[in-house]
Amino acid sequence: MLDGILETKINALKGAQRMYKLYGALGGASLAPHCVLEKSGLPYEFIEVNISRDVERDPEYLKLNPHGRIPTLVFDDQVIIESAAISIYLADKHPQTQLSPPVDHPDRASYIQWMVYITNTLQETMVLKLYTYKYTDDPNCSDQVASRASSKLNMIISFIEKSLGRTEGPFFLGSGLSTADIYLHMLTAWDPSIKDRVVSSSSTSNIPADQRLINIQRSYQAMLKQPDIAKTFATNGH
């Protein structure tokens, strides 16, 4: 009798399994949480949003995310915006992904540090370099801002390259892939000047030795050895 009741409850829980809806754009900032969802093995729906500069945002989407940006995660009665926040939430919520150390794990502090550094320092500088028009209407000023952002970006990438060279594995936390690594490689794909030094070993052969990103490239290649991550990056055009 009790066994039958227990089985019924288990089946009910399985049937009530949440369905995530991830609003995003292929090749955009939704790639990181997209990878976490794919890694989780849970059911989800990817809903593509047109984020072109000259396209007016869908009023229904603006109700979910008033900024009109991507990604946005919807589940149950909750809405979460910001790629890093969604990625951290999903990885923590679903430990089977093995993409974030538990709160009491010794690597947790380093994990949080890299997630914040990549979003607050790397991403902010990269956006300033690539999308200067969003910050000034003065073409003369625009060139100056882009130039300074480019110089700062080179320093940031150099810091990450050296840091990865000091770990005991290819990733920020050593041998274990985390959302911080996925987020890093999502961003490096945005800037052609960095992407060319990371994605293809053949392309790096013509790059001077002092400009090569050997450790970041090693991290990228190790990440793609995980089929679900490689599949999601390929789906996103990487």
pLDDT at 17: 60
pLDDT at 204: 54
pLDDT at 81: 97
Per domain, the residue ranges of the chain are: 2-97, 108-233
**Whole-Å CA distances, 152 to 99, 112, 210, 231:** 29, 22, 17, 32
Give the other-Cβ count within 10 Å of 171's Cβ: 21
Tell me the CATH number of domain 108-233, given options 1.20.1050.10, 3.30.70.3420, 3.30.420.40, 3.40.50.300: 1.20.1050.10
pLDDT at 76: 94
pLDDT at 223: 98
| Tens of each residue's pLDDT in the chain, 238 residues | 445 444 444 444 444 467 999 999 999 999 999 999 999 999 999 999 998 877 788 999 999 999 999 999 999 989 999 999 999 999 999 999 999 999 999 999 999 999 999 999 999 999 999 988 888 888 778 888 889 999 999 999 999 999 999 999 999 999 999 999 999 999 999 999 999 999 866 555 677 776 789 999 999 999 999 999 999 999 998 8
Question: What's the pTM?
Answer: 0.89
pLDDT at 167: 96
75-105 burial: b if 16+ Cβ within 10 Å, else e: beeeebbbbbebbbbbbbebeebebbbeeee
Q: Does domain 2-97 have CATH number 3.40.710.10?
A: no
- Looking up tokens 């594995």 gives 169
